[in-house]
């Protein structure tokens, strides 16, 4: 009997050792639709790099979070979600790595860098560019932080982390087509604004397919759920007139801080939102304080409309999907 117990204990120990070894080979990350598993050591190594951990302090919406306009949605969460979608699509290690790193080069306050650095000095005006500023500096930024030393261990040149490479069709597509980048931030924004639940997010992701060229939905009802999110947030948030005005005045504060040497170009490129925001807020410079006051006025004027639009959209979509066996906002 003693020998039997010893044998049993040995087997239990061996099984636990095997289980622990298996678990240690995997890394679990959270997304808005549930848990995802990382088994690629390259992805793990990149995820632990300071370039990626910095993104936890860079918000997707830019300065809006710090005025109370939008809920927290950091670019690290976004990047993890984009990687997960590309991984689910069965894409190459290179495209998965490019997906994880695609936003690493964002300046503080995200796309505010587009406003700060898009000046045409010959005309004295600010013009839209075909690519965002962070796209233009992306590979330079990664090289400055030594990312090439990591990727080359896996026989991946730094140039293969360019998210706009023609072969990376799951990661990026031209509008109006869907891509992992656009899919993730639409879903995630819907969740943080409580327009959809995490169950709805799961429904959307699990009904997505990628055929090697295009993303598509298997269920037209789920497709319409997703479309509602994109249309709504484009109209009432990302593409809303107040959003452009808000960026204009906050960029004015940043330019003034640069003129006064309160902050540097290095701060904009390599620091974090909160650190730079606090420097501006504590400067007590009249021009910066006036720009902040204008941003607050915009917030006070339009926040009610934004929230009413979201609540109205929730009610309308809830009514539409009630008889379609949907989990939509139940």
19 within domain boundaries: no
- Tell me the DSSP string of 121-136: TTTTEE---SS-HHHH
The answer to whether residue 28 sits within a structural domain is no
pLDDT at 304: 65
What confidence tier does 327 reach under pLDDT thresholds 50, 70, 90?
Answer: very low
Q: How high is the pLDDT of residue 43? A: 98
pLDDT score recorded for residue 306: 66
Report yes or no on 42 lying in a domain: no
Q: Which two tokens stand for residue 84?
A: 């997960």
Rounded-to-integer distance, Cα 144 and Cα 46, Å: 15
- What DSSP letter does each residue of 71-86 carry, written as one string? ---BHHHHHHHHHHHH
Number of domains present in the structure of the chain: 1
What is the distance between the alpha carbons of residues 228 and 143, in angstroms, rounded to a whole number?
39
**Candidate from 2-11, 43-52, 74-83 with smallest mean pLDDT:** 2-11
Residue 141 has what pLDDT? 94
Q: Is residue 30 part of a domain?
A: no
Cα separation of 181 and 16, whole Å? Answer: 39
Among the listed residues 205, 208, 171, 210, the one whose alpha carbon sits nearest the alpha carbon of residue 187? 205
DSSP secondary structure string for all residues of 262-329 = SS-HHHHHHS-HHHHHHHHHTS--HHHHHHHHHHHHHHHHHHHHHHHHHHHHHHHHHHHHGGGT--TT
- Taking CA atoms, 317 is separated from 200, 204, 207, 247, 323, in Å, by 12, 15, 19, 30, 11
Q: Is the pLDDT of residue 299 over 90?
A: no
Residue 123 confidence (pLDDT): 42
CA 274 to chain centre: 17
Query: Could you report the per-residue pLDDT of 143-167, keeping only the tens digit for each?
Result: 999 999 999 999 999 999 999 999 9
Which of the residue ranges 26-35, 195-204, 279-288, 300-309 would you say has the lowest mean pLDDT?
A: 300-309
Whether 281 shows a pLDDT value over 70: the answer reads yes
110 beta partners: 107
In the predicted model, what is the mean pLDDT of the chain?
A: 85
Domain CATH number, residue 241: 1.10.3210.10
% of the chain residues with pLDDT over 90: 66
Is position 158 within any domain? yes
Give pLDDT, residue 136: 87
Q: Above 50 in pLDDT, residue 14? A: no
Q: With respect to residue 1, please indicate whether it lies within any of the assigned structural domains.
A: no
State the maximum Cα–Cα separation within the chain, in Å, rounded to a whole number.
Answer: 91
Mean pLDDT of 284-301: 90
Position 127 confidence tier, pLDDT thresholds 50, 70, 90: very low
Helix (H) or strand (E) holding 154: none
Q: What angle do CA 111, 117, 121 make, to 5 degrees?
A: 150
pLDDT tens string 114-123:
888 865 433 4
For the ranges 10-24, 225-239, 264-278, the lowest mean pLDDT is seen at 10-24
Q: How many CA atoms lie within 13 A of 41 on its CB side?
A: 5
| Contact predicate 212/169, CB 8 Å | yes
Mean pLDDT of 34-40: 96
- At 132 the pLDDT is 82
pLDDT recorded at residue 131: 63
Mean pLDDT across the stretch 184-210?
A: 96
Reported as a single tens digit per residue, the pLDDT across 50-77 is 999 999 999 998 999 998 888 999 999 9
Question: Residue 87 belongs to what domain range?
Answer: 50-324
Q: Which pLDDT value is given to residue 301?
A: 72
Say yes or no to pLDDT of 184 above 60: yes
Greater confidence, 328 or 78?
78
Collapsing DSSP to helix, strand or coil, 227 comes out as helix
Kindly tell me if the per-residue pLDDT of 324 is higher than 80.
no
Q: What percent of the chain has pLDDT over 70?
A: 80
Q: Does the residue 90 lie in any domain?
A: yes
| Residue 67 belongs to some domain of the structure | yes
């Amino acid at each position: 009997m003693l020998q039997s117990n010893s044998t049993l204990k040995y087997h239990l120990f061996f099984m636990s050792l095997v289980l622990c070894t298996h678990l240690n080979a995997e890394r679990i990350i959270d997304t808005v639709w549930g848990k995802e598993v990382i088994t690629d050591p390259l992805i793990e190594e990149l995820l632990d790099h300071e370039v990626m951990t910095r993104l936890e302090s860079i918000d997707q919406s830019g300065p809006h979070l710090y005025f109370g306009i939008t809920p927290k949605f950091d670019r690290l969460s976004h990047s993890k979600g984009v990687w997960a979608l590309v991984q689910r699509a069965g894409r190459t290690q290179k495209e998965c790595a490019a997906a994880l790193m695609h936003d690493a080069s964002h300046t503080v306050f995200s796309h505010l860098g587009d406003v700060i650095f898009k000046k045409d000095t010959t005309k004295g005006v600010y013009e839209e560019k075909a690519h965002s500023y962070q796209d233009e500096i992306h590979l330079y930024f990664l090289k400055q932080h030594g990312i090439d030393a990591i990727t080359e261990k896996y026989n991946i040149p730094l140039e293969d982390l360019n998210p706009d490479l023609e072969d990376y069709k799951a990661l990026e597509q031209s509008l109006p087509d869907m891509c992992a980048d656009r899919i993730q931030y639409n879903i995630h924004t819907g969740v943080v604004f409580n327009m959809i639940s995490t169950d709805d997010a799961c429904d959307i992701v699990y009904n997505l397919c990628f055929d090697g060229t295009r993303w598509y939905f298997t269920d037209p009802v789920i497709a319409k759920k997703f479309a509602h999110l994109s249309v709504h947030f484009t109209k009432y948030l990302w593409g809303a007139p107040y959003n452009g005005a808000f960026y204009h005045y906050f960029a004015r504060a940043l330019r003034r801080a640069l003129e006064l040497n309160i902050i540097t170009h290095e701060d904009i490129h390599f620091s974090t939102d909160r650190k730079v925001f606090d420097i501006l807020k504590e400067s007590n410079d009249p021009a910066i304080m006036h720009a902040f006051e204008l941003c607050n006025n915009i917030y006070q004027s339009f926040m009610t409309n934004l929230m009413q639009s979201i609540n109205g959209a929730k009610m309308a979509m809830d009514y539409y999907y009630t008889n379609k066996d949907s989990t939509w906002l139940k």
